[in-house]
Structure 1
Amino acid sequence: MTISDGDDVIIEYVGRLEDGTLFDTSDRGLAEETGLASEHPDRAYEPLTVNVGEGTVIEGLEEALRGLEEGDSTAVRIPPEKAYGPYKDSRVAEYDRDAFEDMMGDRTLEIGFEVEAKDSGLPGQVTEIKDDFVVVDFNHELAGETLEFEIEVIDVS
């Protein structure tokens, strides 16, 4: 059965950046071997179920699945425009450090601290801490990256 919109597809996958860095996988052994599992200890490394056409995965991955069949394997290169979009400087904001720390309550301000924008709910990370201000980047961590996936179709229904 050829995959098309509305199909539920189960895939095994490996996702890498252009430089070969592993950023995601369904293979627990590979995640453990590369240290990805220790970076994300609560994540389940298992096959992914995608309902094609629902928009639950990036556009380029859905496009790569259409036309494949159960048992097929493929490698696909997905540009930023069909992944997490380009990196936008407009999604980087500076905040007064004192006001930011007041908002945090008893949590400790550090690089990598995760926040959520009040208005949009957009997640961000503290990327810089200065005496007077804090910089928060609201770009997705993979924004601007070309992604490379190895995909194996396990089941189509």
Structure 2
Amino acid sequence: MKGGRGATLIICILLLGSILLGSGCADSGGSNVVKTGNTIQVDYTGKFENGTVFDTSIEEVAKEAGIYTEQRNYVPLTFKVGSGQLIKGFDEGVIGMKAGEEKTLTIPPEKAYGEYNETWVQTFPLEAMGLSEPPEIGQRSRDMYGNQFKVIDANETHVTIDFNNELAGKTLIFDVKLVSIE
């Protein structure tokens, strides 16, 4: 009879524990992790698959990588998770992180800047662009609608421009450290 009561007591305790955890009455630590809608701060370093750094929020890393710019303020990036301020893969990748946690995100093109689209490379006569002489190859500019483009070829009569984002078609790797959750 005593063995039956002990087993019943254990089963009741287990049931009560599972009810509390399932109902959210007990803190499972989820309040300290990033969720959609949180405003967070992260330090990050963005790299290509070959290890070349293309962006960072950390001044020392920028200097080591040769991408340091004096005009830039190197501070943690602040954004609202899930708001569309950043690429989808970055937004999704920080969910569940805790303050102080470090993580490496590998983001394929479809969750970054999309695949490279050859139809977004177009050639125009200089006159149609309102130019009297060819622009410098590599020059970046915006059209009258605000779309950014890069000059990839130019001669005395035509200019070829690329409307793809410079990171289109690339897998991006981000080393991320969660600084804070607001």
Moved over 3 A (4+): none
> Which of 90, 113, 121 is residue 139 of structure 2 equivalent to?
113
Identity fraction in percent = 35
Structure 1 residue 46 displacement after superposition: 1.5
Query: What TM-score results when the alignment is normalised by the length of structure 2?
Result: 0.77
Structure 1 residue 42 displacement after superposition: 2.6
Does residue 121 of structure 2 align to residue 92 of structure 1?
yes
> Which of 24, 41, 61 is residue 10 of structure 1 equivalent to?
41
Q: Distance between the aligned counterparts of 2:103 and 2:140, measured in 1? A: 35
Q: Secondary structure at the match of 1:29?
A: helix
Say if 1:41 and 1:135 are closer, same or farther in 2 by CA, change over 3 A. farther
Q: Deviations over 1:18-43 (max 9, x none)?
A: 01110110111111122111xx4432
1:132 corresponds in structure 2 to: 157
Q: Is this contact kept in 1: 2:137–2:152, CA < 8 A?
A: yes
Structure 1 residue 44 displacement after superposition: 2.2
Q: Distance between the aligned counterparts of 1:109 and 1:76, measured in 2? A: 38
Q: How does 1:56-75 map to 2 (within 5 A)?
A: 56-75=85-104
Q: Distance between the aligned counterparts of 1:88 and 1:21, measured in 2? A: 23
Does residue 52 of structure 2 align to residue 21 of structure 1?
yes
Q: Secondary structure at the match of 1:36?
A: coil
Structure 1 residue 45 displacement after superposition: 2.0
Q: Which has the higher contact order (CA 8 A, sep 6+)?
A: 1
Larger helix fraction of residues: 2
Q: Secondary structure at the match of 2:175?
A: strand
2:105 corresponds in structure 1 to: 76
Q: Distance between the aligned counterparts of 1:123 and 1:143, measured in 2? A: 13
Gap runs ≥5 in structure 1? none
Q: Is this contact kept in 1: 2:134–2:159, CA < 8 A?
A: no
Q: Distance between the aligned counterparts of 2:135 and 2:74, measured in 1? A: 30
Does residue 61 of structure 2 align to residue 35 of structure 1?
no
Structure 1 residue 121 displacement after superposition: 2.4
Residue identity opposite 1:90 in structure 2: T
Q: Deviations over 1:57-114 (max 9, x none)?
A: 11000101111111111011000000001000111110112443xx257x97201222
